[in-house]
Structure 1
Amino acid sequence: MNAQVLAPSSAQSKATVVFVCILAALAGLMFGLDVGVISGATQFIQAEYKVSDHTIEWIVSSMMFGAAAGALAASWLSGHLGRKRSLVLGAVLFVIGSLLSGLASSPETLIASRVVLGVAIGIASFTAPLYLAEVAPEYIRGAMISTYQLMITIGILVAFLSDTAFSYSGAWRWMLGIIAIPGVLFLFGVLFLPDSPRWLLMRGRRQEAIDVLQRLRGDSDVVSREVADIDEQLKTPQRGWHMFTENRNFRRSVWLGVLLQLMQQFTGMNVVMYYAPRIFKEMGYDTAAQMWFTALVGLTNVLATFIAIALIDRWGRKPILYTGFTVMAVGLGVVGTMMHIGIHDQVSQIFTVAMLLMFIVGFAMSAGPLIWALCSEIQPLKGRDFGIGCSTFTNWACNYLVGISFLSLLNGIGNANTFWLYAALNAVFIVLTFWLVPETKGVTLEQIERNLMSGKRLRDIGR
């Protein structure tokens, strides 16, 4: 089907689907708040508890450990409880984890609290893109899934600004605890979301699914065709693990999802998100400047994400990824070079910051939102929960490795070599995008699945 056929027939239905998608995408705000908030808090936590860099790595990365576990559980939860109830559970755990983090009495209790927070983020990071892919029509599907990444960047920016405000008093407990407030607001908002029509049909709740689609599409003929497409796929029930062991084509999509998330995490983006003040310290800036430049990183991240939202359904996925990985490789390569030759004056400081911001732009316009979109698009319906579960788990497992290794890399191989390493990885990802990543712009999920299962090369399943 083409975009013209699937476009809603009324402004009301289009507004409804956009509203629903934005509300669901607010799960990304929770994600971003926690990613951002720990960045500004670490130096004050380290000063209060007098712990080593290695302990700080554990405090930072404990959230990712919990998120990996949450992502694994989310596959089962989203299938049995539904996408909506899974988001509700994630919101509840987020509020609990935030409050416990702010009240932590020791490094050990802080680590445990952040594991709880991570479970919440893992559930939400699995469920929200899945829900968005199943609710949005394909003519805006890329933009709506990209909105999830936009919310992550807004959450990071808000957390950076909050950290900057509290940094003058060193109130790290407020930094970590205050994010419970937007968590409560998100919890109430999720209660108004409709269930995914695909999930409703999977559970045999046909009339409810039709009613939801009617609200979201506004055209009875479009609804009938979409229901028929889903019915055709549901003739064989969800069999994720069995499909993985028995179906070579499904294994290909699962491994591609795993690779995509590995590529996203090893760009080096979360190195900057978790340790931005430390990076700016290595450039020679004092504490106040470190915090304000960290906020500037968050603002750049937000603004550049709009580039992806504007272009993802026009340019397509692959051209944007090529551009983004190239910009990231150059940006980090220059940052590494500047740290190698030495940053001795204000001009070199500002230039190095500009190159780091260029790297942020490259990520926010490409790998950040597009990887989530692709991972939700390439999995066939009957194994979608399993496939997205594997890719989301990979996201957090790699995120954990990045978080727990960065300070050790800085102390072990030095600043310049660390940034050169990530620059080289981005160059490798350009090649992997060419050989393996499909272009899914304007293609229905059903057509992508048919191409995959017919044995087409991975990079051709969107044609």
Structure 2
Amino acid sequence: MSTATISATPPPPSAGTSGRTGRLFALTGAIVGVIYGYDTGSISGALVFLSKDFHLTETEKGLVNSILVFGSIVGALIGGKLADALGRKAAMLIVAGSYAVFVALSAAAPNVVVLDAVRFLLGVAIGISIVAAPLYIAESTPARIRGASVAAYQVATVAGIVLTYFVNWGLSGGGHWRWMLGLSAIPAALVLIPLFRLPDTPRWYVLKGRTERAVEVMAMTDPDVDPRAEVAAVGAALAEESGGSARSLLRKPYARAAFFVIGLGFFCQITGINAVTYYSPQIFEEMGFTGNGQNFLLPSFVQLASLAATVLAILIIDRLGRRVVLLCGIGTMVVMLGVLTAVFGSGELHGTMTWVGFGAILLFTAAFNFGFGSLIWVYASEAFPAQLRSTGASVMLTADLVANLLIAQFFPSLMAWAGAARTFAALGVLALAALAFATVTAPETKGRQLEEIQGYWRNGGRWPVAGEPEPVGAAPLGKSAVPPTASS
């Protein structure tokens, strides 16, 4: 590092300041993740009781779930543009405030029409959050721990789902569905306090031409790099891209990346994880767990196992790599769906067979969170360069949510029409297709800088070899350049 560079770089923050900033990032990300998880799972218990209060049919039950997912699709579509235009931080503030307002209104809903309307708006907030939160974390985290940091958001999400099932069980005796839905308004309001104190991400500041601010924040968030050189590299990557529209994803060199993330997002949900999340009390009741609130309590243990699986994924994701974790998770899902097909097809839903079914649900859910659940956020944040990152995340998660919408709306009707055995068999076939897709397309990005990963997609889905000529239209990797906005 030259003397000129040192003198031009703002003084680094003290170790204490850096530590406090890092903890604040972790705290806000964790709280938003917990709230998202809670709001996703709270309807599973509440639906049992509000269905009786509002006299819902099977189709109307599906709509209560799917309307939130439909809102999430809208939110995901606008989330990227919102995060680019207003900033990752502003998007997070909008999310937290919306959570606080809409969960409180859903708890006070006088009828199913009002409930559906409010849940649609809550879904919009959720859609924005699942784009903005991983972006915010990924763009503020050193490369050596980025995988674990983004996956930690999934840990918080699973922790929120665990919490909601225990709350549902505790409140099930009195049928207090309004409390089940409304309790998360409190932490949603509280998380606004640390969010106001945090800066935006260095990459967003570069995107907006605020280079000096980007250098300051880079020094606060990543002690492993020269902040000015890293900001220059980010600016160079931005300058190479022609635009951040969805149309850009369909052109070389990122069409291959778009195909990968869209497919991964769709398979993540179409394999049925949210059938368990949304309808687990009904699934366990059909298995024969009916006494002493077992159908409410057992999902809590399922999600505890999922939490442990997610923590395990975080511990190994930056050591063993993304592909090993992803493929092991999906492979286990395939096996467990086969077991569930056999359990429901046996016609002996009692005794040992019932507990085998419970174990299969537990391992299926844990495997999802170990593989898909932990990796979808990582790949969404890593697959594209800075100027396309939020758009790419929006497209990926829109595919994810479209599949989620199909599961949320049609799973109850499919169970009633085709039976549980055929339903889980169909999910097993889809999981097998997901395993084949991931095996062929998923790259290993462990330890790579976000800008470096561009080279993989430029090179036709192969990591460039030293001495190889650059692909046509590609800029050399590893070269730093001051972006056009640096002098403005």
TM-score (structure 2 length as normaliser): 0.89
Q: Please give the alpha-carbon distance, in whole angstroms, between the structure 1 residues aligned to 2:377 and 2:172.
A: 33
Measured in 2, the distance between the counterparts of 1:440 and 1:111 equals 41
Deviation at 1:404, TM superposition (A): 0.5
1:302 aligned to 2:307?
yes
Residue 414 of structure 2 corresponds to residue 397 of structure 1: no
Unaligned 5+ residue runs, structure 2? 1-11, 467-488
- Name 1:241's counterpart in structure 2: 245
CA contact (8 A) 2:267 2:400 kept: no
Cα deviation 1:234-260 (Å, max 9, x = unaligned): 224661227527732222222221111
SS of residue paired to 2:320: coil
- Which residue of 1 is the match for residue 284 of structure 2? 280
| Identity in percent | 33
Structure number with greater Rg is 2
CA distance, structure 2, for counterparts of residue 192 and residue 245 of structure 1: 34
Aligned-pair CA distance for 1:342:
2.1
Aligned counterparts of 2:92 and 2:249: Cα–Cα separation in 1: 29
1:344–1:381: structure 2 CA closer, same or farther, 3 Å change rule? closer
Counterpart pick for 2:460 among 448, 456, 460: 456
Deviations 1:310-329 (A, max 9, x none): 11101111111111111111
Within 2, Cα distance between the matches of 1:161 and 1:245? 42
Residue number in structure 2 paired with 1:359:
364
Structure 1 pair 19–143 and aligned structure 2 pair: CA distance change class (3 A): farther
Residues 461 and 38 of structure 1: CA distance in aligned 2, closer, same or farther (over 3 Å): farther
CA distance in structure 1 between the aligned counterparts of 2:138 and 2:419, rounded to whole angstroms: 42
**One-letter code aligned to 1:386:** T
Superposed displacement of residue 446, structure 1: 1.0
Q: Aligned partners of 1:138 and 1:11: how far apart in 2?
A: 19
Conservation of the 8 A alpha-carbon contact between 1:32 and 1:156: yes
Partner in structure 2 of residue 336 of structure 1? 341
Q: Provide the C-alpha distance between the structure 2 equivalents of 1:169 and 1:215, rounded to a whole number of angstroms.
A: 49
**Where do residues 44-443 of structure 1 align in structure 2 (5 Å cutoff)?**
44-218=49-223, 222-236=226-240, 239-241=243-245, 244=248, 247-286=251-290, 288-443=293-448
The range that moved more, 383-392 or 82-91, is 383-392
The Cα offsets for residues 254-298 of structure 1, whole Å up to 9 and x where unpaired, read as 222111111211221111000000100110111601000111122
Alignment deviations for residues 46-85 of structure 1 (CA, whole Å, 9 cap, x no partner):
1111111110000011111111101111111101100000
**Distance in 1, Cα, partners of 2:13 & 2:263:** 38
Q: Is the 8 A contact 2:455 2:463 kept in 1?
A: no
- Displacement after TM superposition at 1:106 (Å): 0.9
Letter in 2 for 1:334: V
Contact kept, 8 Å, 1:14 with 1:216, in 2: the verdict is no
For the aligned residue pairs, the C-alpha RMSD in angstroms reads: 2.1
Amino acid at match of 1:260: L
- Report the Cα distance in structure 2 between the residues aligned to 1:347 and 1:172, rounded to whole angstroms: 32
Question: 1:18-63 deviations in whole A, cap 9, x for unaligned?
Answer: 5414422432222201111000111101111111111000001111
| In structure 1, C-alpha distance between the alignment counterparts of 2:29 and 2:242, rounded to whole Å | 24
The amino acid of 2:236's aligned partner reads E
Q: Distance in 2 between matches of 1:243 and 1:232?
A: 21
Task: Call closer, same or farther: CA 1:250–1:292 in 2, change over 3 Å.
Answer: same
Classify 1:307/1:10 alpha carbon distance in 2 versus 1 (closer, same or farther; 3 Å).
Answer: farther
- Give the 3 Å change call, closer, same or farther, for CA 242–430 of structure 1 in structure 2: closer
How many residues matched?
453
Contact 1:27 1:125 in 2 (8 A): no
How far has the Cα of 1:180 moved from its partner? Answer: 0.7
* Structure 1 unaligned blocks of 5 or more: 1-7
8 Å CA contact 1:73–1:123 kept in 2: the answer is yes
For 1:444, what is the secondary structure of its paired residue?
coil
Normalization by structure 1: what TM-score? Answer: 0.93
Offset, 1:189 = 2.6
CA distance in 2, matches of 1:401, 1:91: 27
What CA distance in whole angstroms lies between the structure 2 residues aligned with 1:274 and 1:164?
15
CA distance in 1, matches of 2:192, 2:125: 12
Provide runs of 4+ in structure 1 moved above 4 Å: 8-12, 459-463
> What amino acid sits opposite 1:239 in the alignment?
G
Larger deviation, residues 147-156 vs 298-307:
298-307
